[in-house]
Structure 1
Amino acid sequence: MNAEALNAPSPLDWQALHDLNGKVAGVFKSLAIDKRRLPASQLTKRGIPAYVAEWVLESVVPGQGELSTEEATKVRDWAARVIPGPGEQNIIKHRLAQGQTVKVLTPLQAEVRLKKGKEPERVAQLSLLGIGDAYIADALLEDYPDLLRHGMWGVVELGSLQDGVAVLSFKPMQASVNLKLYKEARRQFSLHEWRALLLTSLGFDPEAFTEWQQTLLLCRLLPLVQKNMHLMELAPKGTGKSFTFENISPKVRLISGGNISPAVLFVNNANGQWGLLARFSVVVLDEVQTARFEKPEEIVGGLKGYLANGKLTRGGLHETASDCGFVILANISLDDQQRPLRELLVEELPAFLQETAFLDRIRALLPGWQLPKLSSKLLVGPDSALTMGLKSDFFGDALIALRDDLEAESYAARNVHLAGDKPYRRNEESVRAIAAGLMKIQFPHGELSPLDFHRYCVKPALQLRQLIWDQLYTLDSEYRQYEHGIRVQ
């Protein structure tokens, strides 16, 4: 990426972005929200992600425009009653012990425990309350099967029984996605208007980024729209690598540091409980240098198999298929020109993650060092021109729904062929997958010119895969029998 392309300004000026507010509100109606309302509510300070906080806003104080003082007070009063604070676990348990009914906004996860010679036991876990064995009715699990997969956010009504706590009712946070309407809505916008809308929906101010930086931010969405899209982002601290993933969807699981074991990722052989890669659409390892990996050789061995064929297994005892995307976020050091200090970009990763057989299965490397450090100036605020975006819960579900739309894959397969005497097969597969993903993100309606496909889908795909290929080319002479520069015919 040359300096001119890196520094090309945002394609839409302030007035064009400002005028876009009316179109967004008119086309998406109740599915759009003024993104200034969320920071003013201070809901995220209570430890809930944006996709939940915006649902709360629409439930408690529906409306458009900036959040008024009265609305802010109303939503904070509601939050104080319903969203448990970090020090309120024992107070809630005390109220339950006294026979009171308690309503809380919390993630709810359920599991069925099978024991030989005993009736199946259905239990619910409420992590915010420190409750791991609440009773839950079979009817709730029938109505909301996602409780058994990755859990759901919602308002839970709890009551006390003689021998424990029970979930009495559950009002889930749900957004209904009509992909046909989403695609039809795209036809109402130009490409640059649509890109600006996507960025605003993520909470970013599109005017604060160059066109290439906007593309990099949109590339973070690739694992949501593409099955088995595995990528890595390297950047210095403070660039907001995890910002998108922690606020986009309950089907995305972010792991920041802590202990990571084969049982957590793959399957617990002791009880047959499937791990995160089987239960979520995207799993993100954040701050990978600070994580503590138990049995790293087993983890990287399992990952190599999973990233190659989408099958999860551990020791041959259990096996299942998954389309979960796997994302690694890691910090790197920069020089005084804000470029990577080391020629080998992956050198600062844990040694077992530098294996070429593992890196080869990562589709793309995002150069996060080309993005500015995250600050309030980069986010939607009082001075932003475009403040209307898609509600986070609807937006996240729409992106994940695009995984099952295979038109972009077919288009990429027909139109992406690597040039050269000896192109490498995984490079071609990766470029096609990235290009198809960028087509889904930017052209979900499938209407684009060959020129647009090349500029906005293929070109970035080549650059992101080239960064992975450069690592492989440097680390292992086996790869040097193939073309070094990745080009298309």
Structure 2
Amino acid sequence: MNAEAVNTVSPLDGQALHDLNGKVVQVFKSLAIDKRRLPASQLTKRGIPAYVAEWVLESVVPGQGELSIEEATKVRDWAARVIPGPGEQNVIKHRLAQGQTVKVLTPLQAEVRLKKGKDAERVAQLSLLGIGDAYIADALLEDHPDLLRHGMWGVVELGALKDGVAVLSFKPMQASVNLQLYKAARRQFNLHEWRALLLTSLGFDPSAFTEWQQTLLLCRLLPLVQKNMHLMELAPKGTGKSFTFENISPKVRLISGGNISPAVLFVNNASGQWGLLARFKVVVLDEVQTARFEKPEEIVGGLKGYLANGKLTRGGLHETASDCGFVILANISLDDQQRPVRELLVEELPSFLQETAFLDRIRALLPGWQLPKLSSKLLVGLDSALTVGLKSDFFGDALIALREDLEAESYAARNVHLAGARPYSRNEESVRAIAAGLMKIQFPHGEPTPLEFHRYCVKPALQLRQLIWDQLYTLDSEYRQYEHGLNVQ
């Protein structure tokens, strides 16, 4: 994207954005929420993501407009009773030991442990409470099978048994998505209104970003709408690389620092328990330079196979397919012009992640250094013109539902062909996948004009893949048999 495009201001003025509030409520009704309600509630300070906090708001104090003092007090009182603080694990366990039942808002995950000669054991894990072996009934697992896949957030009622703790009841977060209605709703907005609505739904103030910066923020959604979309974002500290992934969906797992092992990512060969790439829709490695990788050669070898064909295996003992997207977030150094110090952008990554066979399988590189550092001025606030967005739990589920809509892939296959006598096949596949994803995000109804598709889907796709191609071209002469610049016919 050229400098002129980077500096193009947002096309909607303040009045147009202000007028859009009523339209969003009219079209989406109860699925819309005033994004100012969330920071006023202070719920995220209790360690819960936005998609959970907005569900709490709708459950406890439903309504539109700013959060009143009375509503804020009611929410905080509810949170004090139901959301456990970091130092309250032992208090809750003490209450259970006294025979009390306890209700808590927490993520709940279940697993079935098979043992030779014994009945299968079903256990629930409540990570916020430090409980890893609570009893859970078959009926709850049948009603909520996602508890066995990636876990679910909800209100859990716990009671004590003679030999432990039992999950007595579970009220999950509910978000119903009708994709046809979502597409029909898109037809009520022009493109600039829709992009502004998407950004507001993510918690950003669209008027604070240029058109190109808006596109970069929307590109962070690509792994949600596209199966096996693998991205890398490089940026200095403080640009909010993980902000979207933390707050968009329980089907996105963010790993920030700590130990990362083949068992965590792929499969635990001892127990047969599948790792994160098998159980989530998107797995994000944040602050990758600070992570501690156990057996890095095995990890990068397994990742190369997975990123190429979507198959998960480890030593040939177990094998399964997954459509999980894999995202790497890393910090890089900038000069006084806010440009990367190093010409080779991946030079600051751990050495085993600089291998060209690995990088080639990453679809796109997001230039996060072109985004401003995250601050309250960039988020929806009291001075924002557009404050109404889609509820985070509904929005995240709608994006993930678009994975199953293959019309955009067909459209991109027909209309995206790289120029040159001998285009590199992975470049063409990647550009098509990125363009199809951007079409799902911006044109879920499948009705872009040819000019819109080229400007808002194909051009960004070329830009993001070109940055990966530049790394490969610099690192390995094998790639120089192909043309350097990516263009479409």
SS of 2:366's equivalent?
strand
SS of 2:452's equivalent?
helix
Task: State the 4+ residue runs in structure 1 displaced beyond 4 angstroms.
Answer: none
Aligned to 1:250: 250
1:386-405 Cα offsets, whole Å, 9 max, x none, are: 00000000000000000000
Q: Report how far residue 113 of structure 1 moved.
A: 0.2
Q: Report how far residue 445 of structure 1 moved.
A: 0.2
1:315-364 Cα offsets, whole Å, 9 max, x none, are: 00000000000000000000000000000000000000000000000000
Q: Calculate the TM-score normalised by the size of structure 1.
A: 1.00
1:162-187 Cα offsets, whole Å, 9 max, x none, are: 11100000000010000010000000
Q: What CA distance in whole angstroms lies between the structure 1 residues aligned with 2:240 and 2:485?
A: 30
SS of 2:288's equivalent?
coil
Q: What CA distance in whole angstroms lies between the structure 2 residues aligned with 1:94 and 1:143?
A: 30
Q: What CA distance in whole angstroms lies between the structure 2 residues aligned with 1:432 and 1:303?
A: 22
Q: Report how far residue 469 of structure 1 moved.
A: 0.1
Q: What CA distance in whole angstroms lies between the structure 1 residues aligned with 2:333 and 2:217?
A: 20
Q: Report how far residue 262 of structure 1 moved.
A: 0.2
1:131-175 Cα offsets, whole Å, 9 max, x none, are: 000000000000000000000000000000111100000000010
Q: What CA distance in whole angstroms lies between the structure 1 residues aligned with 2:57 and 2:162?
A: 36
1:102 aligns with 2:102: yes
Q: What CA distance in whole angstroms lies between the structure 2 residues aligned with 1:4 and 1:215?
A: 14
Q: What CA distance in whole angstroms lies between the structure 2 residues aligned with 1:386 and 1:308?
A: 41
Q: What CA distance in whole angstroms lies between the structure 2 residues aligned with 1:31 and 1:449?
A: 28
Q: Report how far residue 78 of structure 1 moved.
A: 0.1
Q: Report how far residue 293 of structure 1 moved.
A: 0.2
Q: What CA distance in whole angstroms lies between the structure 2 residues aligned with 1:466 and 1:454?
A: 16
Q: What CA distance in whole angstroms lies between the structure 2 residues aligned with 1:378 and 1:282?
A: 25
1:210-252 Cα offsets, whole Å, 9 max, x none, are: 0000000000000000000000000000000000000000000
Instruction: Map residues 137-286 of structure 1 onto 2, 5 A cutoff.
Output: 137-286=137-286
SS of 1:289's equivalent?
helix
1:245-289 Cα offsets, whole Å, 9 max, x none, are: 000000000000000000000000010000000000000000000
Q: What CA distance in whole angstroms lies between the structure 2 residues aligned with 1:2 and 1:404?
A: 33
1:111-136 Cα offsets, whole Å, 9 max, x none, are: 00000000000000000000000000
Q: Report how far residue 3 of structure 1 moved.
A: 2.0
Query: Pairwise CA RMSD of aligned residues?
Result: 0.3
- Structure 2, unaligned runs of 5 or more: none
Q: Report how far residue 5 of structure 1 moved.
A: 1.2
Q: What CA distance in whole angstroms lies between the structure 1 residues aligned with 2:165 and 2:461?
A: 51
Aligned to 2:73: 73
Q: What CA distance in whole angstroms lies between the structure 2 residues aligned with 1:415 and 1:206?
A: 30
SS of 2:384's equivalent?
coil
1:375-428 Cα offsets, whole Å, 9 max, x none, are: 000000000000000000000000000000000000000000000011100000
1:425-458 Cα offsets, whole Å, 9 max, x none, are: 0000000000000000000000111111000000
Q: Report how far residue 56 of structure 1 moved.
A: 0.1
Q: What CA distance in whole angstroms lies between the structure 1 residues aligned with 2:216 and 2:448?
A: 20
Q: What CA distance in whole angstroms lies between the structure 2 residues aligned with 1:103 and 1:449?
A: 52
Q: What CA distance in whole angstroms lies between the structure 2 residues aligned with 1:305 and 1:174?
A: 35
Q: What CA distance in whole angstroms lies between the structure 2 residues aligned with 1:322 and 1:483?
A: 32
Q: What CA distance in whole angstroms lies between the structure 2 residues aligned with 1:308 and 1:447?
A: 31
SS of 1:232's equivalent?
strand
SS of 1:274's equivalent?
coil
Q: Percent identity?
A: 93
SS of 1:403's equivalent?
helix
SS of 2:165's equivalent?
strand
Q: Report how far residue 2 of structure 1 moved.
A: 2.3
Q: What CA distance in whole angstroms lies between the structure 2 residues aligned with 1:474 and 1:84?
A: 51
Q: What CA distance in whole angstroms lies between the structure 1 residues aligned with 2:55 and 2:110?
A: 22
SS of 2:403's equivalent?
helix
Q: What CA distance in whole angstroms lies between the structure 2 residues aligned with 1:376 and 1:151?
A: 32
Q: Calculate the TM-score normalised by the size of structure 2.
A: 1.00
Q: Report how far residue 303 of structure 1 moved.
A: 0.1
Q: What CA distance in whole angstroms lies between the structure 2 residues aligned with 1:90 and 1:25?
A: 43
Q: What CA distance in whole angstroms lies between the structure 2 residues aligned with 1:11 and 1:430?
A: 29
Q: What CA distance in whole angstroms lies between the structure 1 residues aligned with 2:26 and 2:291?
A: 45
Q: What CA distance in whole angstroms lies between the structure 2 residues aligned with 1:467 and 1:156?
A: 46
Q: Report how far residue 300 of structure 1 moved.
A: 0.1
Q: Report how far residue 33 of structure 1 moved.
A: 0.1
1:12-40 Cα offsets, whole Å, 9 max, x none, are: 00000000000000000000000000000
1:291 aligns with 2:284: no
Length, aligned pairs only: 489
Q: What CA distance in whole angstroms lies between the structure 1 residues aligned with 2:4 and 2:306?
A: 39
SS of 1:305's equivalent?
helix
SS of 1:479's equivalent?
helix
Q: What CA distance in whole angstroms lies between the structure 1 residues aligned with 2:487 and 2:29?
A: 43
Q: What CA distance in whole angstroms lies between the structure 2 residues aligned with 1:419 and 1:7?
A: 27
Instruction: Map residues 441-452 of structure 1 onto 2, 5 A cutoff.
Output: 441-452=441-452
Q: What CA distance in whole angstroms lies between the structure 2 residues aligned with 1:355 and 1:138?
A: 46
Q: Report how far residue 45 of structure 1 moved.
A: 0.2
- Structure 1, unaligned runs of 5 or more: none
Q: What CA distance in whole angstroms lies between the structure 2 residues aligned with 1:365 and 1:256?
A: 19
Q: What CA distance in whole angstroms lies between the structure 1 residues aligned with 2:118 and 2:291?
A: 39
SS of 1:91's equivalent?
helix
Q: What CA distance in whole angstroms lies between the structure 1 residues aligned with 2:443 and 2:147?
A: 32
Q: Report how far residue 367 of structure 1 moved.
A: 0.1
Q: What CA distance in whole angstroms lies between the structure 2 residues aligned with 1:448 and 1:336?
A: 39
Q: What CA distance in whole angstroms lies between the structure 2 residues aligned with 1:120 and 1:26?
A: 51
